[in-house]
Amino acid sequence: MLTVKGIRHRIRRPGPLAALSVAYIAAVSGVMIWRGISVSPDYLLLILVPVAVLSGRFNAFVRDWVPFVALFLGYEAMWGIAPKTGIAPHVADVVHAESALFGGVNPSAWLQAHLGSVHWLVIACTVVYFCHFAFPIAVGVVLWLVDRTKFLRYVVTLMGMSFAAFIIFLLVPTAPPWLAHDWGFLPGVTKLMNGALPSAISPYYRLLNSNPVAAFPSLHAAYPLLGALALWTVSRRAGLMTLVWCGAVWFSIVFLGEHYVIDVLGGIIFATGSWVVMDRIVAPRVRVLRAQPEAAVAAVADVPDGASAADAVTDGASVTDGAGVSSPGPG
């Protein structure tokens, strides 16, 4: 017969707790979207507190998540700098390149002409678009619960990719399809999200200036693919399932007129390149990003708040193999 302690132990196992956390984030995000509340990182950090408490690693959660979210919010605050550079955004050349790529047809215009009147599809794609922050946070939670090293690799790659994209936004500003339409360069494309669903942003985001000419590369396209690549290292099934979400995001942002297909391709290249750089160049040279011995990982996962990770790794390193000799870690 299971006791309360036994049930809690089962729930706290990485697999069940990760699944429960994803379901919880999806449910709360759904309610927020339904009630017209923007799903932004500052809100999501507060939403994750019950997950941290349930995991029994609240101190570790504060140590790992607060700096990451703070840095991410700082990155978001930088967006207001871009419009002040005085660099003229690319509009006509991108419209022509997109049409040339598809034989004279603009995908956003074609999709809106054929599907723009399908109200439920507009709503569904808007919901997918609003999950821009919820998805990478959910991926981060899964990785944090399963393997902290993989979590650190993911968030460092995510932030590195974001800041690299920001440099491109500064130097090569690009107007999205809906803005190209407003400026008279792309007939037949409107901002379908306008009025589709209400969305009240947080007090923090009200203080920030947005950058409407940051279409290429599309971070909306890059974030889910980076999540799929990170999850692949934990579970190939999870990685493959995430690719379905990637497809939904890529379709949605083109259909809604928020990005060109060229922007999506740029995001795909950015995410793939960023992950390769992390895996092949950065991680092997940074100790905290290198894989730990399995025993040490298990020990760190079980260490209570207040104990040091070094103590846990020491305990893990003392585990011996069948011959009674301590198993060395990777070189």
Tell me: the pLDDT tens digits for 166-220?
Answer: 999 989 999 999 999 999 999 989 999 887 787 788 887 877 777 788 899 999 9
Beta bridge partners of 200: 37
CATH, residue 260 = 1.20.144
**Residue 327 counted as domain residue:** no
Residue pLDDT, tens place only, 230-241: 999 888 888 888
Q: Quick one: which of 7, 194, 8, 178 has its CA closest to 94? A: 178
Q: How confident is the model at residue 324 (pLDDT cuts 50, 70, 90)?
A: very low
Mean pLDDT of 135-157: 93
Range of the domain at 182: 56-119+145-194+207-285
Q: Which amino acid is at 159?
A: M
> Which pair of tokens denotes residue 63?
């140590």
**Residue 31 counted as domain residue:** no
Which region among 27-31, 150-154, 189-193, 286-290 has the lowest average model confidence (pLDDT)?
Answer: 286-290
Mean pLDDT of 105-110: 94
**Residue 125 counted as domain residue:** no
Rounded CA separation 299/142 (Å): 18
Q: How confident is the model at residue 280 (pLDDT cuts 50, 70, 90)?
A: very high
Predicted local distance difference test score (pLDDT) of residue 85: 75
Name the 3-class secondary structure at 174: strand
**Residue 297 counted as domain residue:** no
Q: How many domains does the chain have?
A: 1
Q: How confident is the model at residue 12 (pLDDT cuts 50, 70, 90)?
A: low
Alpha helices in 116-235 (DSSP H): 119-130, 134-146, 148-171, 177-182, 203-206, 219-232
Predicted local distance difference test score (pLDDT) of residue 289: 86
**Residue 65 counted as domain residue:** yes
Residue pLDDT, tens place only, 249-265: 999 999 999 999 999 99
Mean pLDDT of the chain: 82
Predicted local distance difference test score (pLDDT) of residue 7: 44
pTM (two decimals) = 0.81
Q: Quick one: which of 253, 248, 247, 263 has its CA closest to 214? A: 263
**Residue 69 counted as domain residue:** yes
Q: Which helix (H) or strand (E) holds 36?
A: none
Alpha helices in 13-118 (DSSP H): 14-34, 41-47, 49-55, 58-77, 92-101, 107-115
**Residue 7 counted as domain residue:** no
Rounded CA separation 58/47 (Å): 13
pLDDT at 104 over 70: yes
Q: Which residue has the higher pLDDT, 255 or 37?
A: 255
pLDDT at 2 over 50: no
> Which pair of tokens denotes residue 34?
């339904």
Q: How confident is the model at residue 161 (pLDDT cuts 50, 70, 90)?
A: very high
Residue pLDDT, tens place only, 41-79: 888 888 889 988 888 888 999 999 988 888 888 888 877
Name the 3-class secondary structure at 175: coil
**Residue 36 counted as domain residue:** no
Q: Which amino acid is at 272?
A: T
